Structure 1
Amino acid sequence: MTKHPKSLPDGTRRNEASRKAILTSAFDLVGEVGFAKLSIEAIAARAGVGKQTIYRWWPSKGAVFFDAFLMLSEDQVSGYPALPDTGDLEADLKSVLRATVGELNDPRYDEPMRALTTEIVHDPELAATYAERLREPMRRLKVDRLRKAQEAGQLDAGTDLDLAVEMLWGPLLNRWLQRTEPLTVEYADLVVETALHGLSPRTQARVA
Structure 2
Amino acid sequence: MTDQRRPSAGVARRSETSRRAVLTAAFELAAEVGYAKLSIEGIAARAGVGKQTIYRWWPSKGAVLFDAFLMFTTGEPGEGGGGESVEEAALPDTGDVEADLKTVMFATVDELNDPRYDRTMRALSIEIAHDADLAALYAERLNRPMRELKKRRLRAAQEAGQLAADLDLDVAVDLLWSPLLVRWLHREGPLTHEYAAALVETALGGMRP
Task: Return the TM-score normalized by structure 2.
Answer: 0.89
Q: Which residue does 1:65 correspond to in 2?
A: 65
**Identical-pair percentage:** 68
For structure 1, which runs of at least 5 residues remain unmatched after alignment? Answer: 1-7, 200-208
| Largest Rg, 1 or 2 | 1
Q: Which residue does 1:20 correspond to in 2?
A: 20
In the aligned structure 2, how far is the partner of 1:193 from the partner of 1:66? 32
Instruction: Give the RMSD, CA atoms, in angstroms.
Output: 1.3
Q: Which residue does 1:158 correspond to in 2?
A: 166
Q: How far off its partner does 1:80 sit?
A: 4.2
1:189 aligns with 2:197: yes
Q: Which residue does 1:131 correspond to in 2?
A: 139
Q: How far off its partner does 1:197 sit?
A: 1.1
Q: Which residue does 2:35 correspond to in 1?
A: 35
Q: 2:104 aligns with which of 93, 96, 99?
A: 96
Q: How far off its partner does 1:75 sit?
A: 2.9
Q: How far off its partner does 1:198 sit?
A: 2.9
For structure 2, which runs of at least 5 residues remain unmatched after alignment? Answer: 1-7, 74-81
Q: Which residue does 2:91 correspond to in 1?
A: 83
**Does the 8 Å contact 1:34/1:115 carry over to 2?**
yes
Q: How far off its partner does 1:139 sit?
A: 0.2
Q: 1:111 aligns with which of 119, 136, 139?
A: 119
Query: The residue matched to 2:134 in structure 1 has which SS?
Result: helix
**Does the 8 Å contact 1:70/1:76 carry over to 2?**
no
Q: What does the per-residue CA deviation read over 1:139-173, in whole Å, with 9 as the maximum and x for residues that have no partner?
A: 00000100010011000011110000000001110
Are the structure 2 counterparts of residues 99 and 39 from structure 1 closer, same or farther at C-alpha, using a change threshold of 3 Å?
same
AA at the equivalent of 2:146: M
AA at the equivalent of 1:58: W
Q: Which residue does 1:174 correspond to in 2?
A: 182
Q: Which moved more, 1:185-194 or 1:79-88?
A: 79-88
In the aligned structure 1, how far is the partner of 2:175 from the partner of 2:85? 22
Q: Which residue does 1:5 correspond to in 2?
A: none
AA at the equivalent of 1:109: Y
AA at the equivalent of 2:89: P
Q: Which residue does 1:206 correspond to in 2?
A: none
AA at the equivalent of 2:60: S
Give aligned pairs, total: 192
Where has structure 1 moved over 2 Å in runs of 4 or more?
74-80
**Does the 8 Å contact 1:40/1:54 carry over to 2?**
yes
Q: How far off its partner does 1:76 sit?
A: 4.6
Q: How far off its partner does 1:178 sit?
A: 1.1
Q: Which residue does 2:48 correspond to in 1?
A: 48
In the aligned structure 2, how far is the partner of 1:52 from the partner of 1:180? 41
In the aligned structure 2, how far is the partner of 1:108 from the partner of 1:52? 28
In the aligned structure 2, how far is the partner of 1:70 from the partner of 1:134? 8
